[in-house]
Amino acid sequence: MKKTLLTLLLLVASLSLQAQMDFEMHYFVTPDTTNHYLNVTLNYQQTSDTKELVLNMPRWAPGYYEMLDFAKHLCDFSAIDNQGNALTWRKEGLNRWRIQLPEDRCAKVSYRIYANERDVASSRVEGNIAFIAPPGVFMHVDGHLQHPVTVTFLLPPHWQHISTGLKPHADDTSTFTAPDFDTLYDSPLLLGNYYLSHFSHEGHDYEFALETPDGVEECGLQEDFKRIVSAATEMMGHVPYDNYCLIHMGQGGGGLEHLNSQACYTDGTYRFPSRQAHVKFLAFVAHEYFHLYNVKCIRPAELWPLDYDHEAITPMLWVSEGLTCYYEFRLLQYAGITNTDEALQLLSTYFSLYAPYEGQRHTSLRQSSYDIWLNFMNKDANERDVRVNYYFKGPIIGLLLDVAIRQQSHQQHSLDDVMRLLYNRYYRQLQRGFTEEEFWAAVAEVAGTPLPEMRQLVDTTADIDYDRLLAPAGLCIDTTDWSIRRVANPTKSQSAFLKSMQL
């Protein structure tokens, strides 16, 4: 019986592998630096008897919770056979193309992508540089996201670099192969002429690709980044990548996390006008870095596997985003970059962005996560009157949760232990996302008891007695400026609590 079962499993695995390898995809991308286009050609070759090729382009980019419908930037779609004869094709819906294959099952598909947006989820081509956000450039075969794909970039003669989390071919540094489209879509690229720095740290390779490096050497970004990496590694106990690429571009807003890279827009300079501005920037870098654990690995069940055609609606983005905002503060503390006042100022900034406003009485933190697909870029004038932002309230709930876990476990455990549990159990061992109930079960396991009050603060719009909940940690709220402060005269137990939290 066991032998029969093993034979069956091997047959299924063999058929699965064969299904994955019965076609080849090789993309060629040429930047048009004059007109802001990416000229894309796909060489497709199939060995099965299927007579049609159905290609899909993603409608959104993970981490950017809005339907972007990248196909709106596509034009001049065409398909030909190896002799140059036009193939019959038709568009289906917003993001799907169905092509009739010739007898030899080979096709060359071409299209152009207009790339002229300063956005971390969109591509941009200029005279000396191009940023490529792969979900808006490359199509996958319908139903075959787990198929390998090769991409070659045909650069202008004067362009010198390609930077990405993908590893280039040994004999062709302009060609990259991703094991699947999830990996390709998660690997932004910077092409052209820019500041480039390579270094190793604690057994891993790192690359800095900076479009506007003014002041980067003087501000000590590389050393601060190493300290952030070391702090995260010590906290989580594991590094899930071999190499990491930090892509920073010029003036613009926003950052987007990836498993072994980050793509961010900066103010165009690393010459910060104040220490406060410098710390705020490092918190931004730490945020995108910690996301490689929290959301790329520690992932709500609704985000695994990814569906690029439909919204991934989950009530748990307050964990993915809000707790990552909390760990900006923690990582900079653990790394020894910020002092107590600076750390509390980071948290206080988030507190002041929601606590004075009426929206917290109308929308729960859980509901804000669920409805983000309606509100990610919603700029209605009444936003703060009717909604709460999980980026702002999430880190404060993170603080309250951390304090509650430490208190209930008599300082033996913290929110860090919850993050490690989720990472090791669901990502590394079970290789899946966690459910809402599993998150709260993990909190109870670490704390030694369920924390129903904490869950109520997430699930409802109930008033929060911040001073009572923060009192064990020797912290309080100053409502004159909505800041989080140490109490004036902490007790012995409060002082010990503050010390354990490095505050």
Closest to 101 in 3D by CA, of 149, 44, 144, 42: 44
Bond prior to 305 in cis (omega within 30° of 0)? yes
Give the model's confidence band at 334: pLDDT under 50 very low, under 70 low, under 90 confident, else very high.
very high
Q: Do the strands 243-251 and 261-266 form a parallel or antiparallel pair, or are they unpaired?
A: parallel
**Whole-number mean pLDDT of the chain?**
95
pLDDT for res 457: 98
Integer distance in angstroms from the first to the last C-alpha of the chain?
Answer: 61
Give the model's confidence band at 21: pLDDT under 50 very low, under 70 low, under 90 confident, else very high.
low
The pTM assigned to this predicted structure is 0.95
Helix 390-408, helix 415-422: angle, nearest 10: 110
pLDDT over threshold 90, residue 165: yes
207-256: per-residue pLDDT in tens?
Answer: 999 999 999 999 999 999 999 999 999 999 999 999 999 999 999 889 99
242-251: per-residue pLDDT in tens?
Answer: 999 999 999 9
Q: How many CA atoms lie within 13 A of 81 on its CB side?
A: 12
CATH class, range 293-500: mainly alpha
pLDDT for res 16: 45
Is 449 in a helix, a strand, or coil?
Answer: coil
pLDDT over threshold 50, residue 164: yes
DSSP-assigned letter for residue 488: S
pLDDT over threshold 70, residue 15: no
Where would I find the beta strands (DSSP E) of 318-420?
none
Give the model's confidence band at 8: pLDDT under 50 very low, under 70 low, under 90 confident, else very high.
very low
Query: Is 161 in contact with 211 (CB distance < 8 Å)?
Result: no
**Residue-wise over 449-471: b if at least 16 C-beta within 10 A, else e?**
eebeebbebbbeeeebebeebbb
Q: How is residue 42 written in tokens?
A: 């796909």
pLDDT over threshold 90, residue 392: yes
Give the model's confidence band at 116: pLDDT under 50 very low, under 70 low, under 90 confident, else very high.
very high
Average pLDDT rounded to a whole number, residues 354-376: 97
The Cα 327–Cα 291 span in angstroms is 10
**Token pair 């081509």 is at which residue?**
125
Average pLDDT rounded to a whole number, residues 138-156: 98
401-451: per-residue pLDDT in tens?
Answer: 999 999 999 999 999 999 999 999 999 999 999 999 999 999 999 999 999
pLDDT over threshold 90, residue 10: no
pLDDT over threshold 80, residue 14: no
CATH class, range 22-193: mainly beta
The Cα 57–Cα 68 span in angstroms is 11
Q: Where are the domains of the chain?
A: 22-193, 293-500
